[in-house]
């Protein structure tokens, strides 16, 4: 899952990005409203964390323009002041939730998970495909009851596959949801990671779950 953080305070933005990456999300940071709007329109994010007080274009205006342009990505607003006006205004303009600064990272994370689940129309915290399960809270993966150790990126890749069973995922889609903006899509890194993942979750099982569609991408299915 890939998240855009629009926040001009470097310290806060860095703290959020680091925390999200530790939780195995890919995160990009935009440091003003103009950059945030540009990235949100050009890229395909699963969630946007948007500060209200921003240089160039403020957060509420960014929010209005995104919704006007039919971008429906869930948006979590950050507000410095505990102003009822800002919250009401934000929700009226199409924000999905808000958080007042200063906040504990654990609360940001809890709200992030809820919004990502809502975006997927999903209420469970464990994903399952055949006998493969992935626990979104504990970050544990197991197949046929046996726990499988994955690296952070392998886990993120598997999570993306398991959120879209039966759906063909192109390399571009995988890059957009699993890697951040600095990722060079012209490399074969995705294929390398998919192969690593296969070795761990498919190799010693008769029923293969990750299938290659030559020239198109990959699909996870039974």
What are the residues binding Ca ion (CB under 5 A)?
A: 8, 51, 53
Q: State in angstroms the smallest separation of the CB of 6 from Ca ion.
A: 9
- Residue closer to Ca ion by CB (options 76, 175) is 76
Q: State in angstroms the smallest separation of the CB of 5 from Ca ion.
A: 11
- Residue closer to Ca ion by CB (options 59, 74) is 59
Q: State in angstroms the smallest separation of the CB of 21 from Ca ion.
A: 21
In sequence order, what DSSP letters do the residues of the chain get, joined into one string? -EEEEE-S-HHHHHHHHHHHHHTT-EEEEESSHHHHHHHHHHS--SEEEEESS-SSS-HHHHHHHHHHTT----EEEEESS--HHHHHHHHHTT-SEEEESS--HHHHHHHHHHHHHHHTT---SEEEETTEEEETTTTEEEETTEEE---HHHHHHHHHHHHSTT-EEEHHHHHHHHS-TT--TTSSHHHHHHHHHHHHHTTTSSS--EEEETTTEEEE--
- Residue closer to Ca ion by CB (options 75, 201) is 75
Q: State in angstroms the smallest separation of the CB of 76 from Ca ion.
A: 14
- Residue closer to Ca ion by CB (options 77, 220) is 77
- Residue closer to Ca ion by CB (options 8, 23) is 8
Burial class (CB within 10 angstroms; exposed 0-12, middle 13-18, buried 19+) of 199: exposed
Q: State in angstroms the smallest separation of the CB of 53 from Ca ion.
A: 4
Q: State in angstroms the smallest separation of the CB of 52 from Ca ion.
A: 7
Residue with CB nearest Ca ion?
53
- Residue closer to Ca ion by CB (options 101, 208) is 101
CB 145 within 8 A of CB 205: no
């Amino acid at each position: 899952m890939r998240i855009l953080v629009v926040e001009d305070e470097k310290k806060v933005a860095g703290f959020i990005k680091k925390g999200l990456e530790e939780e195995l999300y890919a995160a990009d940071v935009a440091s003003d409203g103009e950059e945030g709007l540009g990235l949100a329109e050009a890229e395909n994010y699963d969630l946007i964390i948007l500060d209200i007080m921003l240089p160039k274009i403020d957060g509420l205006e960014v929010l209005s323009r995104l919704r006007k342009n039919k971008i429906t990505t869930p948006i979590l607003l950050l507000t410095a002041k505990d102003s009822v006006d800002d919250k009401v205004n934000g929700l009226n303009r199409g924000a999905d939730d808000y958080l007042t600064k200063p906040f504990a990272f654990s609360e940001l994370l809890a709200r992030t998970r809820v919004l990502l689940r809502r975006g997927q129309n999903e209420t469970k915290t464990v994903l399952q495909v055949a006998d493969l399960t992935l626990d979104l809270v504990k970050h544990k993966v197991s197949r046929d009851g046996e726990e499988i150790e994955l690296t952070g990126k392998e886990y993120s890749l598997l999570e993306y596959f398991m959120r879209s069973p039966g759906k063909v995922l192109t390399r571009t889609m995988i890059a957009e949801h699993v890697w951040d903006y600095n990722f060079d899509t012209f490399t074969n890194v995705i294929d390398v990671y998919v192969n690593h993942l296969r070795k761990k979750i498919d190799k010693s099982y008769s029923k293969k779950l990750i299938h290659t569609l030559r020239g198109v991408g990959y699909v996870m299915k039974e």
